[in-house]
Amino acid sequence: MDRITSFQTTRRIVMGPGSLKGLADEIKRLNASRVLIITDPGLVRAGVIERVEEILAKAGIPYSRFDKVEPDPRFEIVDDALAQLRAESADLVLGIGGGSSIDIAKVTAIMATNAGPVGAYFGIDLVPKAGLKTILIPTTAGTGSEVTPIAILSDHHDKLKKGIVSPHLLPDCALLDPELTIGLPPQVTAATGMDALIHAIEAYTSKNATSVTDLLAVQAMDLLFNNIRIACANGSHLEARSKMLEGSLLAGMAFANAGVTAVHAFAYPIGAEFHIPHGIANTIMLLPVMEFNLLGNLKKFANIARIFGQNTTGVTERKAAQLAVEAVRELAEDLSVPQHLSTYGVKEEHIPGLAEGVMKVTRLLANNPRVLGLEDAEMIYRRGL
Ligand SMILES: [Fe+2]
């Protein structure tokens, strides 16, 4: 211990195949009387929400459903969810879905007890009061948002993704049932799984990493790297799905405390302006950022290479660190994740503006293992073209 640090996470985590069946008990444990389910239309179509509603109906718990969450949700969606919550007098928010539904659920719960507008809370520790009781159920092995004090929403006026960071965003309970991730198509499994893997890589190499977050990040990298190919190749492989969900949870716990670094910083401007899905934007930026960052912490990048199964015997630490990049490159190719920004219409002429955008993401750049300036940012985007 060389400095004062702290660690926080979700206080109750229930997980395992079939754990969804215990949902009613979790709601009763929190003494809630009316539930607002927050989700997206895709999960309604997939029949997942019907299963949740059956469990609530059987237990005699009144509920209503808000299913209008969109990908990269605009923060105005929160106002619609909040109006329904008030009309129904719900006292517990149940967020179920990918990162978008979960983040809207988290923000709706705090806006129920704090005066608006939502925009007033973008930033760090600006939310005065705890929100309504919240249970979060992720259906992708990705964001880890069920254990982070962060919500990311899109501001369509500024073309920016903005974050609310507050301990009040941590839910009362996270419920992780890998059976809910079985139906995810390979491309979504790949993109969300890469996002989770990047959370672990970035938490591990963050300047704010601690022995606790390292423990979580190392285990997360092992689980995610060694199961993502199987989960993409055979979506109904329950063991691989289970390990992916566990990996994304541990990665979430790690980065919620150690922070993410430049990969996420570079992903935000392109995600908002060119509508590149978060996991894909991260995967594209991972290789050029990792190559740049190696010098900032050769020892840890060399360890990552070993976790990723690279043979580092007899090579220098510099070469071993480079092998981590090679392992990631091979993985992205195997998973057929797009690897170039140009695929999404990003051109050379966009780079100066994007690089200026990334320099504003100071919250994340402060964690980066290597100091990064405007010219570096342009060079890194150029390598991602
Ligand atoms: Fe992420």
CA of 158 to the centre of ligand 1 (A): 20
Q: In Å, what is the CA distance from 264 to each residue of 35, 119, 172, 289, 295?
A: 33, 21, 27, 10, 19
345: left (phi over 0), alpha (psi -120 to 50) or beta: left
Burial profile 330-351: b = 16 or more Cβ within 10 angstroms, e = fewer: ebbeebebbbebeebebeeebb
Are the CB atoms for 285 and 267 separated by under 8 Å? yes
State residue 2's pLDDT score.
Answer: 84
CA of 335 to the centre of ligand 1 (A): 18
CA of 143 to the centre of ligand 1 (A): 5
368: left (phi over 0), alpha (psi -120 to 50) or beta: beta
CA of 119 to the centre of ligand 1 (A): 21
Whether omega for the bond prior to residue 369 falls within 30 degrees of 0, making it cis, is no
State residue 85's pLDDT score.
Answer: 98
State residue 75's pLDDT score.
Answer: 84
CA of 103 to the centre of ligand 1 (A): 12
CA of 278 to the centre of ligand 1 (A): 7
State residue 76's pLDDT score.
Answer: 87
What are the backbone angles phi and psi of residue 3, rounded to the nearest 5°?
Answer: -160, 170
State residue 245's pLDDT score.
Answer: 98
What are the backbone angles phi and psi of residue 134, rounded to the nearest 5°?
Answer: -140, 135
Residue 72 is classified by DSSP as S
Could you tell me which of 41, 108, 39 has the C-alpha nearest to residue 79? 108
CA of 111 to the centre of ligand 1 (A): 23
State residue 141's pLDDT score.
Answer: 96
Q: How, if at all, do strands 150-155 and 160-165 pair?
A: antiparallel
CA of 144 to the centre of ligand 1 (A): 8
State residue 41's pLDDT score.
Answer: 96
Are the CB atoms for 377 and 215 separated by under 8 Å? no
State residue 215's pLDDT score.
Answer: 98
Q: Return the H-helix or E-strand segment holding 282.
A: helix 278-293
CA of 96 to the centre of ligand 1 (A): 18
- For the chain, 385 residues long, give each residue's pLDDT as a single digit of tens: 789 999 999 999 999 999 999 999 999 999 999 999 999 999 999 999 999 999 999 999 999 999 999 988 888 899 999 999 999 999 999 999 999 999 999 999 999 999 989 999 999 999 999 999 999 999 999 999 999 999 998 887 776 778 899 999 999 999 999 999 998 999 999 999 999 999 999 999 999 999 999 999 999 999 999 999 999 999 999 999 999 999 999 999 999 999 999 999 999 889 878 889 899 999 999 999 999 999 999 999 999 999 999 999 999 999 999 999 999 999 999 999 999 999 999 999 999 999 999 999 898 999 999 999 999 999 999 999 9
Q: Which amino acid is at 246?
A: E
User: Tokens 């109906």, residue?
Assistant: 57
pTM: 0.96
Using DSSP, state whether 35 is helix, strand or coil. Answer: strand
State residue 342's pLDDT score.
Answer: 95
> CA angle, corner 95, sides to 153 and 283, nearest 5?
50
CA of 364 to the centre of ligand 1 (A): 12
User: Tokens 């949700």, residue?
Assistant: 73
